A and B are shown apart, each in its own frame.
Chain A
Amino acid sequence: MWPLIKLLPIKTNFRFVAFARLAAIVSGVLVIASLGRAMFPFEPPCGGLACGIDFKGGAMLEVSTAPRAVDLGAARAALSDKGLGEVQVQAFGAPSEAMVRFQIPDGASADATVAGVQQSLRQALGEPATFRPAAVVGPKVSGELLQSGIMGLGLAILLMLVYIWFRFELQFGVGAVVGLFHDVILTFGLIAWTGMEFSLTTIAAILTIIGYSMNDTVVVFDRLRENLRKYKKMPLGEVIDLSVNETLSRTVITGLTAVLALSGLAVFGGEALYEFSLIMIFGIVIGTYSSIYVAAPVILLWGVRNRDEEPEVLPPMQPRGGLQP
């Protein structure tokens, strides 16, 4: 049986809409739980998320005591009670290297704080010890980065609403946006639960998830719009089922290729891209689910414009170029 596509039935008849109520409850509970986990405790700037220095300010310092191994405990002890916020000392690459993260106390100069930390560490770890500041983010900049990150997410969702509204109808736009909120909030929940670092790269990953989830939703909506015009007498629920079934093989194949490629990235991409790819894989799974069980049911709840007024089947956008039969 090869090619394998022949195994996928050309037409499936899953009753997706029948499970919509159950899915709505599960989604609702997950969204509320995620939202709570991501926001609680209500502490600025990041609530329940493990904020990176991008958003809360602070410094990252690479320490190397080669050829000896870094005494992580001594380093931690040397930096506690210095008003440096939550100090993290982690092994980094080789045992002789470590990454130290700390915050700059309010009002203190970043340069002086970094110099002070280097001195304390030099005393605690002994010679030879070399340092390399990997990143320093001032409090002003971190506030701005967080603000523009959140604004970026908000604006992306808004743009999607406008685009779908313009290309389809308002109901579709609202359905799509409810789906996006669902995906974004669940992703925040994942980040909070797993304790992954919330950073600029995370925002990029979430924006990409928004793009992918929309991509998926649009494919379902496109077929839905076509079928609504084709089968004017069919109840809305059945048209939705039909459309989801018709696009199901595409949904599965594209989702699989994306997850396959990103798994390669998670395994071979190194530390820097590991969390990034995990977040994206999660987002792709959630985005696929939400196209079927969040975006479409919103349309079912709300209904669509009176379908009899619509003109007969008319492709929304004529392809350009020569396509003669």
Chain B
Amino acid sequence: MLSISRWKLVAVVLATVFGILFTLPNVVPQGALPAWLPQPRLNLGLDLQGGSYLLLEVDTAALKTEKLTNTVEDIRQTLRNEKIAFSDLAVVGDGVNVRITDPARVNDALNVIQNNQAAPLAGAPGGREFTVRREGDRLRLAFVEEAFNAEAGRAVEQSIEIIRRRIDELGTREPTIIRQGVDRIVVQAPGESDPERLKNVIGQTAKLTFQMVDETVDPAIAASGRTPPGVELLPSTDGYQAAYFVNKRALVTGEMLTDARQANDPQTGQPVVSFRFDATGARRFGQATGAENVGKRFAIILDGKVISAPRINEPITGGSGQITGNFTFETANDLAVLLRAGALPAPLKVEEQRTVGAELGADAVRAGQISTAVGFVAILVFMLLAYGFLFGGISVIALLVNGLLIIATMSVTQATLTLPGIAGLILTLAVAVDANVLIYERMRDEIRAGRTVVAAMDAGFSKAMSTIIDANVTTILAALIMFQFGSGPVKGFAWTLSIGVITSVFTAVFITQVLLAWWLRSARPKTLPIV
């Protein structure tokens, strides 16, 4: 007990210096420290600095439906190109059925669909997204489950990228966008206390397509609710017509845009969105507006709604154009932002949303600071009263260093401090003195058992050690569980608790030991002041 090994002394000094250096940035005003000193501050959770949390789920059902519909349209096109007559082409369950009219050509159709349509399955060499089976004069395409899962996975990855681009355009600082589970995305936007604005930006799919308007559909048929195959009826927001019949096949899609900007129509002065296609888009658009289609109309469709249906006056080959919808300056600008960032591969549903106003967060921080200070002073007074200036004081010093170490470690690791985390911090301070109490009480026991002061102090440390470790491992285990099962604020609580337990064992054991050894050597006491 009289001799403390050198490494222990070094560890205590280093830890204290580390604690002071890395706590400092949290106490002084930002930018006041010279550049060579550490700068990271505590990373406050959304509940303390204010902000919005959104849990989004990719609509996998919509994704599935879209994939199936696209397949139907692709098959229609392929069979027409091959001049194979067919009927009853439709989505049935998780696949597509089609009847080939000419029995002699069923095998041709099977081959052409299998070879041209079935895309290779990602991650499964030789695997295809669907299998084609012949049943008499019918063909049955059945998708494998993995094809949909792979699609969902791709959709989540793409969505994360697109959401990031959209939020960046909003100018929100440091949003966190991460994948959760198979089909979920968590968006955390600190400082953004208007979740509606956030939701408007990320909730819109912004799927843009150009499709031909079919003006040949007999209104009588339309009134009966039946639409011809390959044609769909879409609602319109252009202010001229309530709905349009359009071809299901998209001529050009939003992915082929390279740029979109808010502009003003040179003739009317109305706000419009001007856009530019890439090479493929320009070529396809040029063909679609070619001579045979002049005089017809095409529809510009955003998220299933026709926003404009202009008539083709002449072939548009330049690869650029403008959308004249019912825009205000703001909606035109928003649409341009969405088009630039790209469309979401599937709609996103908001499953959970939490918002804390910045003011409320600041109140919470203040309340947390006051209660931490009050808690600390309460423990300080109590320990001094209970164990006197020497032993009580030593445990208070250990506690102080412990507090520094917790804040420093949390600043360095950039662990998130949440409101329950502050509670965890206060509880940790209270339980930190437990290690001291265990050691001191053990010393009292040993004195009672008739040992000398030095022997009692030594036994106090060595015998209390296993108890201290056992007792603290249980807390760490509880924290681990919270980390595994908890959500944001609870995770923050678990993290604070874990860091606190580890630092408190260190300070209570090491710092107490070093300080007591000094006292022992300098005072050579005959009795312990706590007996």
Q: In the complex, which residues 35-63 of chain B have their Cβ closer than 8 Å to any Cβ of chain A?
A: 47, 55, 57
The answer to whether B354 and A260 touch across the interface, beta carbons within 8 angstroms, is no
- Chain A: number of interface residues, binned into ranges: 35 or more
B contact patch SS: helix
Closest to B367 in A: A270
Distance of A143 from chain B, by nearest CB (Å) = 11
Known contacts A134-B356, A262-B426, A323-B462, A219 near B481 by CB under 8 Å: no
Which B residues touch A140, using CB under 8 A? 57, 351
The answer to whether B367 and A268 touch across the interface, beta carbons within 8 angstroms, is yes
The answer to whether B474 and A215 touch across the interface, beta carbons within 8 angstroms, is yes
Q: Which of B281-289, B295-303, B432-440 contacts A (4 or more CB under 8 A)?
A: B432-440
Which A residues touch B478, using CB under 8 A? 156, 207-208, 210-211, 214
Q: Is A247 an interface residue (CB 8 A)?
A: yes
A268–B368 Cα distance when bound, in Å, is 8
Q: Is B74 an interface residue (CB 8 A)?
A: no
Q: Is B146 an interface residue (CB 8 A)?
A: no
The answer to whether B431 and A258 touch across the interface, beta carbons within 8 angstroms, is yes
Which A residues touch B363, using CB under 8 A? 270
Closest to B357 in A: A132
The answer to whether A211 and B371 touch across the interface, beta carbons within 8 angstroms, is no
Which A residues touch B382, using CB under 8 A? 256-257, 260
The answer to whether B368 and A269 touch across the interface, beta carbons within 8 angstroms, is yes
The answer to whether A261 and B378 touch across the interface, beta carbons within 8 angstroms, is yes
Known contacts A204-B482, A207-B481, A268-B371, A215 near B434 by CB under 8 Å: yes
Q: In the complex, which residues 168-224 of chain B have their Cβ closer than 8 Å to any Cβ of chain A?
A: 193-196, 199
Known contacts A134-B354, A222-B466, A316-B466, A265 near B375 by CB under 8 Å: yes
The answer to whether A3 and B391 touch across the interface, beta carbons within 8 angstroms, is yes
Q: Is B327 an interface residue (CB 8 A)?
A: no
Q: In the complex, which residues 89-118 of chain A have their Cβ closer than 8 Å to any Cβ of chain B?
A: 110-111
Distance of A51 from chain B, by nearest CB (Å) = 16
Distance of A209 from chain B, by nearest CB (Å) = 9
- A194-206 interface code vs B (CB 8 A; 1 in, 0 out): 0000001101100
Known contacts A260-B430, A315-B463, A315-B466, A218 near B474 by CB under 8 Å: yes
The answer to whether A258 and B485 touch across the interface, beta carbons within 8 angstroms, is no
Q: Is A128 an interface residue (CB 8 A)?
A: no
Distance of B298 from chain A, by nearest CB (Å) = 32
Q: Is A237 an interface residue (CB 8 A)?
A: no
A252–B419 Cα distance when bound, in Å, is 28
Q: Is A160 an interface residue (CB 8 A)?
A: yes
A250–B449 Cα distance when bound, in Å, is 17
The answer to whether B375 and A5 touch across the interface, beta carbons within 8 angstroms, is no
Q: Is B13 an interface residue (CB 8 A)?
A: no
Closest to B366 in A: A270
A contact patch SS: helix
A5–B437 Cα distance when bound, in Å, is 11
Q: Is A277 an interface residue (CB 8 A)?
A: yes
Identify which of A133, A160, A260, A321 gathers the most chain B CB atoms within 10 Å of its CB. A321
Which A residues touch B383, using CB under 8 A? 257
The answer to whether B350 and A325 touch across the interface, beta carbons within 8 angstroms, is no
- A149-169 interface code vs B (CB 8 A; 1 in, 0 out): 101100110011001000100
The answer to whether B8 and A321 touch across the interface, beta carbons within 8 angstroms, is yes
The answer to whether A159 and B431 touch across the interface, beta carbons within 8 angstroms, is no
Q: Is A26 an interface residue (CB 8 A)?
A: no
The answer to whether A160 and B379 touch across the interface, beta carbons within 8 angstroms, is no
Identify which of A3, A6, A211, A272 gathers the most chain B CB atoms within 10 Å of its CB. A211
The answer to whether A215 and B477 touch across the interface, beta carbons within 8 angstroms, is no
Q: Is A324 an interface residue (CB 8 A)?
A: yes
Which B residues touch A273, using CB under 8 A? 367, 371, 419-420, 422-423
The answer to whether B375 and A133 touch across the interface, beta carbons within 8 angstroms, is no
The answer to whether A137 and B352 touch across the interface, beta carbons within 8 angstroms, is yes
Q: In the complex, which residues 258-287 of chain A have their Cβ closer than 8 Å to any Cβ of chain B?
A: 258, 260-265, 267-270, 272-273, 276-277, 280
Given contacts A10-B445, A204-B420, 4 further A-B contacts (CB under 8 A): A3-B384, A136-B353, A253-B437, A264-B371
Please give the residue numbers on chain A whose beta carbons come within 8 Å of chain B beta carbons, in ascending order: 2-6, 10-11, 62, 110-111, 132-138, 140-141, 145, 148-149, 151-152, 155-156, 159-160, 163, 167, 200-201, 203-204, 207-208, 210-212, 214-216, 218-219, 222-223, 246-247, 249-250, 253-254, 256-258, 260-265, 267-270, 272-273, 276-277, 280, 315-317, 319, 321-325
29 A-B contacts (beta carbon < 8 Å): A5-B388, A10-B445, A111-B199, A136-B353, A156-B481, A204-B489, A207-B482, A208-B427, A211-B474, A216-B471, A218-B474, A250-B441, A253-B437, A257-B434, A258-B427, A260-B375, A260-B379, A262-B375, A268-B370, A269-B368, A270-B364, A272-B367, A273-B367, A276-B423, A315-B462, A317-B465, A317-B466, A319-B462, A319-B466
* 4 cross-chain pairs, A with B, having the tightest CB-CB distances, nearest first: A211-B478, A3-B388, A152-B485, A264-B374
Please give the residue numbers on chain B whose beta carbons come within 8 Å of chain A beta carbons, in ascending order: 1, 3-5, 8, 47, 55, 57, 193-196, 199, 349-357, 363-364, 367-368, 370-371, 374-376, 378-379, 382-388, 391-392, 419-420, 422-424, 426-427, 429-431, 433-434, 437-438, 440-441, 444-445, 448, 454-455, 458, 461-463, 465-467, 469-475, 477-482, 484-487, 489-490, 493-494, 497, 529-531
